[in-house]
Amino acid sequence: MKSLLLILCLLCLPQALRAECLKGDCENGQGTASYFGGMTYTGDFKGGKPEGQGTKTYEDNTTYTGGFKEGKFEGDGVKTYADGARYEGEFKSGRFHGKGKFTTADGSVYEGDFEYGAYSGQGIYTAKSGARYEGTFRNDKFNGQGTMTYADGSVYKGNWENGHRTGHGVGTLADGSTYEGNWWDDKFDGRGALTLANGDKKEGMWKAGVIAKEEAVEDSKEASAKQEAVGGGWKY
């Protein structure tokens, strides 16, 4: 008996989810419809589904205005969330896809390429702190070549993997000190050279931010202190 009731409920579910036309032509024309869960749509319809231009409003006041295809967001549009986050750009099959700009609720901004909802391709990310990254993204993370300018004026230019400085890169601190060489997981790792603003230098093989095998170059206590201070990587 319970199985029969479950089957009947499943058969009835699609009917319950169908739109109720409030005004206009909600089949093949322009109209306004309400949906299960408190959602409403005003705009163009085709075959009983949103298609063309329209506005969809959710129960929590999240809104989307733009193109639709077979009931999904398609083409250019703007989606504004209840918490203040906002996306403006291209959509495909209901997701951010193509060129667009996404502003988070805290004011951070990403502008560039999207791939099925994720930052992927070339883009610029500006954090709430003022830090700014320009370069390649994949799956919402810094991946490939890019430049990060930190809030304190420090700069890293080089390779990234999954959001971390990994591979060859050049880091320049606000005081002019620089490290050029290999990085791993945001730390000096591999062959590289740390040059202080006063010209003192530590060069050789590094491991997890600490020089493991130093080559014969100028040295000073100040260089050793700087190595310990910045060897672990800069924050943003």
pLDDT score recorded for residue 92: 97
- Is it the case that residue 16 has pLDDT exceeding 50? no
Reply yes or no on whether the pLDDT at 210 is more than 90.
no
Q: Is residue 170 part of a domain?
A: no
Whether 142 maps to a domain, the answer reads no
Burial letters 64-74, b for 16+ CB under 10 A, else e: bbbbbbebebb
Which range, of 78-82, 170-174, 193-197, 231-235, averages the lowest pLDDT?
231-235
pLDDT, mean of residues 53-76: 97
Share of residues in the chain with pLDDT > 70 (%)? 83
In a domain, 71, yes or no: yes
Question: Does 216 map to a domain?
Answer: no
Instruction: Report percent pLDDT > 90 for the chain.
Output: 77
Please give the Cα distance from 66 to 86 (Å, whole number).
13
**pLDDT, average across residues 106-110:** 97
Residue 85 has pLDDT above 50, yes or no: yes
- Asked whether 116 and 94 are in contact (CB, 8 A), the reply is no
Tell me how far apart the alpha carbons of residues 196 and 209 are, in angstroms, rounded to a whole number. 15
Question: For residue 31, is it within any domain?
Answer: yes
In this prediction, residue 127 has a pLDDT band, given cuts at 50, 70 and 90, of very high
144-173: pLDDT as tens digits: 999 999 999 999 999 999 999 999 999 999
Domain-located, residue 196 = no
32-63 burial string, b = 16+ CB within 10 Å, else e?
bbeeeeeebbbbbbeeebbbeebbbbeeeeeb
Domain span at 40: 20-82
Calculate mean pLDDT across residues 10-23. Answer: 60
Residue 146 falls inside a structural domain? no
Non-local (6+) Cβ contacts of 207 within 8 A are 189
CA 141 to chain centre: 6
In a domain, 179, yes or no: no
Domains in the chain, number = 1
